[in-house]
Homo-oligomer: A and B are copies of this chain.
Amino acid sequence: MRLLLADDHDLVRDTLVAYVESTGDIDVDAVADFDQAFERIKTGDAYDLVLLDYKMPKMNGLEGLHRILDLENAPRVALISGDATREVAEAALEAGAAGFVPKTLAAQSLINAIRFMAMGEQYAPIDFMTAPDTPPAHPLVDKLTQRELQVLEGLTKGQSNKEIARGLDLAEPTIKLHVKTLYRKIDVNNRTQAALVAREAGLF
């Protein structure tokens, strides 16, 4: 069985390779960034499974995953990550990933997961997937409408109402309205607080 592992942390990669190969029947190729992985997949022999680190050079979030899955003879691809959210995992599985492997997984479980995924199954650790919907996704955020979010994004850039209006091709009074209603929803009194709350919530 042939496995391709792409992770930019040499230490993680090296030890992972050593561990996986020690199980006997798994051959591992390892590369340090997405471009190398992409090249190997296109030109090299077929892999039974590809493990991509979610955060590594050239990966661009889920874009790398999509690029591989769009190939003609796309191999089975799974993501591996130390800190990705459940949302990312879900999106990846949705997009057709063979699985999602958090780095908090026990090493032996990884071996099992690899075999499982190579057999054509989709894998994701149950406890990880059933985790709370992430910190209520920031209760504030999903209370805002599309427009209000766009306006809030402008605020987090320190833009004036006028600038935001230009950017969204709207009249300034409209922006003022959105700004005001937005303040009420997230319970702040001025744009600076709004911007900070948005940043705090990890938005933008």
Q: Which residues of A contact B (CB under 8 A)?
A: 8-12, 14-16, 18-19, 22, 82, 101-110, 155-158, 160, 188-193, 195-196, 199
Contact = CB atoms under 8 A, between A and B. Distances in A.
Given A8-B104, A199-B199, A158 B190 contact: yes
Contacts of A15: 12, 15-16, 18-19, 107
Contacts of A108: 14
A196 B159 CA distance: 12
Given A11-B107, A15-B16, A155-B192, 8 more contacts: A9-B82, A10-B106, A11-B101, A11-B102, A12-B15, A160-B190, A192-B195, A195-B195
Given A196-B158, A199-B196, A199-B199, A107 B191 contact: no
Contacts of A156: 196
Contacts of A106: 10-11, 14
Nearest to A190: B158
Interface centre among A15, A110, A193 (most CB of B within 10 A): A15
Given A193-B158, A195-B196, A18 B12 contact: no
A110 B106 CA distance: 21
A19 B107 CA distance: 12
Please name the 6 residue pairs, one residue from A and one from B, whose CB atoms are nearest each other, closest first: A14-B107, A158-B193, A15-B15, A15-B19, A9-B103, A158-B192
A96 to B, nearest CB: 23
A12 B196 contact: no
A10 B189 contact: no
A103 B12 contact: yes
Nearest to A110: B11
B11 A188 contact: no
Nearest to A103: B9
Contacts of A82: 9, 12, 82
